[in-house]
Structure 1
Amino acid sequence: MTATDHRTGTSPEELVARLRAHARSYHSLHPFHLRMNQGTLTPDQIRGWVANRFAYQEAIPLKDAAILANCPDVAVRRRWIRRITDHDGTAADGPQSGGIEAWLRLGQACGLSREEILDRRHVQPGVRFAVDAYVTFARTRPWVEAVASSLTELFAPDLMAERLAAFERYYTWIDGDGLQYFRNRLVQAPRDSEHALEVVTAHCHTIAEQDAAEAALSFKCDVLWAMMDAIDHAYT
């Protein structure tokens, strides 16, 4: 089908099934991630993953701000903005709140200093390129496509549960308080993906719109996989 195909697409239920099928290309199946959950990574490999992944964590509010800037729907904006405060924290909650701060605490629990995480000295070029590509996508593509790209969150709860269990079982040298980011996402990811699915199914009715939404999710899966490739190459 072409990008100008305005024929009616599949039902919302069928569209959701198509989107969920992309779980097979989610980065949870990357060899590096499989080794992580099997408990075979070294401390240096864990630290390398944490330091590089911070580049992505830091970019999430930028991606969400781009979606807000392009979104004309006030109801969507009112709900979507919570994603930014989830990651940046709020003044009311204090300077130690938010997902970015929680990831920094994870890095410290792994033996990294805040300085070396924040100055990005460990971030690999491939990771930087993938993260920049994702933010650019959110800024330049139609806002509904950018929302669809966030639907990797559909697969995140299972990933987070497996990751948390693996870290608690195999990587006991990491202070358990540093794992709070994973615990938070067990609650946040289902809530966020439910909203994103509502948006996509409400706005994607034609074949072209549904194909674009699916392509956006596929692109995001590629972004996460490319990051893992770069990390795997650097630390394995």
Structure 2
Amino acid sequence: MSKVLNKNDFELKLRDMGRMYHIHHPFHIRMYQGECSKEEIQGWVANRFYYQTAIPIKDAAIMSNNPPLEDRRKWIDRIIDHDSVGGGIEAWLELGEAVGLKKEDLLSHKFVLPAVKFAVDAYVNFAKQSPWKEAAMSSLTEMFAPQIHQQRLDTWPKNYPWIEQKGLRYFQKRLSEARRDVQHGLSLTLEEFNTLQLQERACEILQFKLDILWTICDALYLAYELKRPPYFNIKDCHAQRKITSN
């Protein structure tokens, strides 16, 4: 970036970074094409749940860094979306049960891969340690999320008919929530990141978040498609993360 961009051009630049969104990862491509095994779907659901449980913690960390009252009020909605009765966490537990996983196994995170844990924890730590505006705009991968949720709603019923339909509630729920959240996060970013240095910083932060999501898929690809989970070549060391399909 050689000069400060006006709001329209800056938004276009941010949206163009969607070409690096994890919807383009080989693991996700196989998923929506119907090529994933039951174990791969279960592995994705179990590992992604660790990310889901981190979202309200991340959002609470942003609020703890003291954004203005109006921004706090909007950010509270995000926490409620995930942590309330019938919210995102419960919807993901329903998804887990729909793909044949036990609720207690999801809650214990027993199947979470080390690389997934490192990536998600890095995101939470970033939210805790960064100025609230930087942490807030890291959520802008939500610009690309409705497409990936709609893709699952469109392809899973046909490609994975063994998944109980009630398990798809999370994706339906997030279609409207993500669009609402983007309106706030994007307007904040366009308004506050208004110098060349700040706009470059915003792109770095969005790339950091894209890297986290891509890294999660890398770990899943290695463990479930290539059959090389952590310590795969050391006897008995990876057994605790092996999912047995029901």
Same fold (TM over 0.5): yes
Counterparts of 2:157 and 2:134 in 1: how far apart (Å)? 36
Q: Distance in 2 between matches of 1:144 and 1:214?
A: 13
Cα deviation per residue 1:111-133 (whole Å; 9 max; x = unaligned)? 00001111111000000000000
Identity %: 49
The residue that corresponds to 2:113 in the other structure is 124
1:108 — aligned with what? 97
1:175 alignment partner AA: E
CA positional deviation for 1:71? 3.4
- The whole-number CA distance in structure 2 between the counterparts of 1:120 and 1:197 is 32
Shift of 1:199: 0.8
Matched residue, 2:233:
none
1:173 deviates by: 0.4
Q: Is the 1:63–1:135 contact (alpha carbons within 8 Å) kept by the matching residues of 2?
A: yes
Matched, 1:41 2:36: yes
Q: CA deviation at 1:8?
A: 7.8
Q: Per-residue displacement from partner, 1:188-208 (whole Å, max 9, x unpaired)? A: 111111110011112111111
Residue matched to 1:179: 168
- 1:14 maps to 2:9: yes
Name which of 54, 62, 79 aligns with 2:57.
62
In 2, are the aligned partners of 1:102 and 1:180 still within 8 Å (CA)? yes
For 1:86, which of 81, 84, 88 is the aligned residue? Answer: 81
Give the whole-Å Cα distance in 1 for the aligned partners of 2:132 and 2:202.
10
Aligned-residue Cα RMSD (Å) equals 1.3
Which runs of 5 or more residues in structure 1 are unaligned? 2-6, 90-94
Q: 1:166, CA displacement in angstroms?
A: 1.3
Number of aligned pairs?
A: 225
**Equivalent residue for 1:233, pick from 200, 204, 222:** 222
SS where residue 111 of structure 1 aligns?
Answer: coil
Find the aligned partners of 1:159 and 1:86 in 2 and give their Cα distance.
19
Deviation at 1:154, TM superposition (A): 0.3
Q: 2:209 aligns with which of 220, 223, 230?
A: 220
Paired AA for residue 216 in structure 1? I
| Structure 1 residue ranges (4+ consecutive) displaced by more than 2 angstroms after TM superposition | none
Q: Is the 8 A contact 1:144 1:213 kept in 2?
A: no
- Mapped to 2, the partners of 1:143 and 1:235 lie a distance apart of 36
Aligned AA (1:178): G
Whole-angstrom distance in 2 between the partners of 1:204 and 1:129: 28
1:138, 1:234 → 2: CA distance?
A: 28
Task: Report the Cα offset of residue 145 of structure 1.
Answer: 1.3
**Matches of 1:200 and 1:126 in 2, distance apart?**
29
Secondary structure in structure 1 of the residue aligned to 2:223: helix
Q: Does 1:204 align with 2:193?
A: yes
Q: Deviations over 1:57-103 (max 9, x none)?
A: 000001111111113311111111100000001xxxxx4x1100000
Structure-to-structure mapping, 1:93-172, within 5 angstroms: 95=85, 97-172=86-161
Q: Is the contact made by 1:27 and 1:228 (CA closer than 8 Å) also made in structure 2?
A: yes
Please give the secondary structure, in 2, of the residue aligned with 1:172. Answer: coil
Alpha-carbon offset, residue 40 of structure 1: 0.6
Counterparts of 1:182 and 1:172, CA distance in 2: 16
In structure 2, what is the Cα distance between the partners aligned to 1:111 and 1:192?
31
What is the SS of the residue equivalent to 1:177? helix
Q: Could you tell me which residue of structure 2 aligns to residue 92 of structure 1?
A: none
Match of 1:50 in 2: 45
CA contact (8 A) 1:47 1:110 kept: yes
Contact 1:67 1:143 in 2 (8 A): yes
Matched-pair contact (CA < 8 Å) for 1:153–1:193: yes
Gaps of 5+ in 2: 226-246
Q: Report deviation, 1:212.
A: 1.1
